[in-house]
Amino acid sequence: MKSMSTRKMILGLLILSFVGFAIGYLMTNSYDFGFCYSDFSTNTFDVSCHDSYENIGNPLFYGMSALSIIFLILTFLPETFPAWKKFAKWFIPLATLLFIFYPDPGSGDYLSPYPEQVFKWVSIVYVAVSLAIISWNLTKQKLNKVK
């Protein structure tokens, strides 16, 4: 019974992360979807509108895509969810704070990477560590069954 409720929770989180990913994609491509003014024939764009959407869309796009990958894997391996959750409880809030408060390179620190690069790197680290935790926990569970 517990496994079924865990599976339902993971499935709900997977759907939520897919929705966040789609919203991030739409916001990141605000010119293509007509959210911001763009006229390619005269080469005029509403840059401030696009920047506003992109500041919200990029973290959603990269963060939610990483979450979607992990939730998709956890859908098939719900027994590893408790071990992964211990990691996610501290990593996801820290990554969210980093995504929110990371300064733009134009704020005086020219040696810092661009926010989009940081979003990619943090998401890659999240996926890699999550996969390692899931694999380790799954291996440990199989070894315990053998004994």
| pLDDT tens column, 11-49 | 999 999 999 999 999 999 888 888 887 777 776 767 788
Asked if residue 115 has pLDDT above 90, the reply is: no
> Which pLDDT score, from 0 to 100, does residue 147 have?
67
Q: Which two tokens stand for residue 76?
A: 């098939």
The DSSP result for 91-112, as a single string, is: HHHHHHHHHHHPPPGGGS-TTS
Residue type, 91: F
- Whether residue 108 has pLDDT greater than 80: no
**% pLDDT > 90, the chain:** 52
Q: How many other CB atoms sit within 10 Å of the CB of residue 39?
A: 9
Residue 124 confidence (pLDDT) above 90: yes
Averaged confidence pLDDT in the chain: 86
Per-residue pLDDT of 62-93, as tens digits, reads 999 999 999 999 999 999 999 999 999 999 99
**pTM exceeds cut of 0.85:** no
Residues 107 and 89: their CA atoms lie apart, in Å, by 31
Q: What is the mean pLDDT of residues 115-128?
A: 91
Q: What is the pLDDT of residue 1?
A: 42
Q: 88 vs 8, 46, 47, 51, 123, CA distance in Å?
A: 18, 38, 35, 29, 12
Inform me whether the pLDDT recorded for 129 exceeds 70. yes
The pLDDT assigned to 43 comes to 65
Please check whether residue 45 is in contact with residue 37, taking contact to mean a CB–CB distance below 8 angstroms: yes
